[in-house]
Structure 1
Amino acid sequence: MPKNLKQRMKSWITNKMELPADVIMDLPRITMIGQLHIYIENHRGLLTFSDQEVRLLLKQGQLLIKGKSFVIKTILPEEIMLEGKIEHVHYLDN
């Protein structure tokens, strides 16, 4: 099945069944509390970590988080909670 058609079908099913897009389309769910905490669900793994940068693998690309004084508060296979001063959150294409 062509990738574009598959994506359109998932989008249509999500709209018709009123399901959250992150569940059907395998998207990350990102919750930020000010600049102090960021909670990311549905990632594919931690690629890099330092006190100023975190890079996570996503199904489609990567998520880059930049800031200061980062500490991982929780890390599970598909979830991570990061604490510190969050300055930038960027999606990177593969």
Structure 2
Amino acid sequence: MRINETNRTGMINSYNSAGKSQEAKKGRASMGKDEVNISHEALEMLKQVEEPQSPARREKVSSLKQQVEEGTYKVPSDKLAEKILAFWRKQ
């Protein structure tokens, strides 16, 4: 039984070179134009952010920012759970 045959290395090299040429062809073909799609929901959220906020809303946001900076803000777990359940039920 022969373990080392000299002809096998040539076959391996030709196999490797064929794979590289196919990858190069795929790389050139896949180069295309970049495109970004923004969902309808994201556009709606952007409109809400851009609209002027009421004074009560601004005060609430500044209060929350201050609590977060001081480290005294605690996430209400019941409200968080409601939001998570609503998200998963919607899907």
TM-score range (shorter-chain normalised) is under 0.3
Structure showing the higher helix proportion among its residues: 2
| TM-score, length basis structure 1 | 0.24
If asked which structure has higher relative contact order (CA below 8 Å, sep 6+), I would say 1
Structure showing the higher strand proportion among its residues: 1
Q: Give 1 or 2 for the bigger CA radius of gyration.
A: 2
| TM-score, length basis structure 2 | 0.25
